[in-house]
Amino acid sequence: MKAVSGRHLCLLLIAAVVAACSCGRSPSTSALTAAGFSPDEVKVQVARVGFDDQTGSHYVLLLDETESRQLPIMIGENEAQAIMLALHGIKPERPFTHDLIRSIIGQTGNRVDRIVIADMRDEIYYATIYMDGGRYSIDSRPSDAIALAMVMNAPIYVNPKLFGSAPTLGLGAGGKIPDTARALGLTVEQLTPDLASAFGQPAGRGVLVSGVSSSAEKAGVARGDIVVKVGDREVAALDDFSRQAAQLKSGGAVMLTLKRGGSNRTVTLENRPAGYPPKP
């Protein structure tokens, strides 16, 4: 199940994409049916990228929409970095192989419909990339397929039978994904060492914004920002953020200090109760 570093496999994937893009592009209903789309496939999202202490490998954690089923898949370090940056909306200084594939697909007028983690044999997962209304299907390592889906904003699906055979990795207490905190219209998560390194942030300082309400977005907060202060109090962990947000007066305003792109900025948010309409 452990991913093998394979730049040459990525290049083979590029070759397959180029070959597919060079053909005609008129998808049909029969082609979509032949592509093997199943109504039983479960749509998932990338919940996080982490490091498994038990195996010494990186993994990507897929979570269904009800957050009741999860599927961890071992991936290589390069794929982990690509998925992690895409998950948090960070554009790398130098493009990854998956960015190159995206450019090839986009420039040739093609599209990725979805990717499916379809099977596991001998503890190795297998994925398929579906393109152009099901006209093309390309075999792929799950790590490459997920990275491509992330950079192209394509949906990810899992064969439901795979959840039952999912391994237990070192995901923290009880094998659960780490807690998040929600307040001030934000969803934040702990800044792990991997994330801190990717964002160029000292470990143990700040929490990562992984979700933003419309009002918080309008105030200037973006997914991928790092909250380092609530008011004049520093934030080092989730507990700091939750405690400081809970102490704020409802209906009042609070200033957040955010780290973005290596520099600090401040925004002002209203501390409104959940579901309470914003001021006109």
CATH number at residue 26: 3.10.690.10
Per-residue burial over 180-219, b = 16 or more CB atoms within 10 Å of its CB, e = otherwise: bbebbbbbbbbbbebbbebbebeeeebbbbbebbebbeeb
* Contacts by residues 54-62 (CB-CB < 8 Å, ≥ 24 positions apart): 54/169, 54/170, 55/2, 55/169, 55/170, 57/2, 57/3, 58/3, 58/194, 59/169, 60/142, 60/143, 60/146, 61/171, 61/177, 62/117, 62/146, 62/156, 62/158
Tokens (6 digits) for 42 = 């479960």
Q: What is the pLDDT of residues 50-90, one digit of tens each?
A: 777 677 778 888 988 887 888 888 888 878 878 877 777 77
Domain boundary among 143, 165, 187: 165
* Residue 156 shares a structural domain with residue 187: no
Confirm whether 276 is domain-assigned. no
Residues 16 and 141 in one domain: yes
Residues 151 and 202 in one domain: no
On whether residue 173 sits in a domain, the answer given is no
Do 129 and 201 have their domain in common? no
Whether residue 207 contacts residue 244, with contact meaning beta carbons closer than 8 Å, is answered with no
* pLDDT band for position 36 (cuts 50, 70, 90): low
Dihedral of CA 69/207/148/105: which sign? positive
pLDDT at 86: 79
Which is more confidently placed, 279 or 169?
A: 169
Tell whether 278 is covered by a domain.
Answer: no
Same domain (yes/no): 148, 28: yes
Minimal CA–CA distance to 171: which of 61, 41, 27?
A: 61
- Write down the pLDDT at residue 117: 93
Q: Are residues 32 and 146 in the same domain?
A: yes
Residues 6+ positions from 239 with CB-CB distance below 8 Å: none
User: Does the residue 31 lie in any domain?
Assistant: yes
Q: Going by DSSP bridges, is the β-strand pair 156-158/112-121 parallel, antiparallel, or unpaired? A: parallel
For residue 84, what pLDDT is reported? 78
**Are residues 92 and 146 both part of a single domain?**
yes
Domain that holds residue 194: 178-270
| CATH code of the domain containing 221 | 2.30.42.10
- Considering the domain architecture, whether residues 158 and 30 belong to the same structural domain is answered as yes
**224 and 139 both lie in a single domain:** no
The torsion of the CA quartet 79, 150, 142, 66, rounded to 10 degrees, works out to 120
Cα–Cα dist 227/65, whole Å: 26
The C-alpha atoms of residue 97 and residue 95 are separated, in whole angstroms, by 7
Q: Is residue 150 part of a domain?
A: yes
Residue 228 has a pLDDT of 92
Helix (H, G, I), strand (E, B) or coil at 42: strand
pLDDT score, position 235: 92
Structural domain count of the chain? 2
- Are residues 112 and 224 both part of a single domain? no
Percent of the chain at pLDDT exceeding 70: 72
Tens-place pLDDT, residues 190-236? 777 766 776 777 766 888 887 788 888 899 998 778 899 999 999 98
Flag whether pLDDT at 242 surpasses 50.
yes
The reply to whether 102 falls in a domain is yes
Considering 133, 165, 197, which residue would you say is the last residue of a domain?
Answer: 165
71 and 139 assigned to the same domain: yes
Domain termination site, one of 165, 194, 227: 165
On whether residue 55 sits in a domain, the answer given is yes
* 32 falls within a domain: yes
149 plus 184 within the same structural domain: no
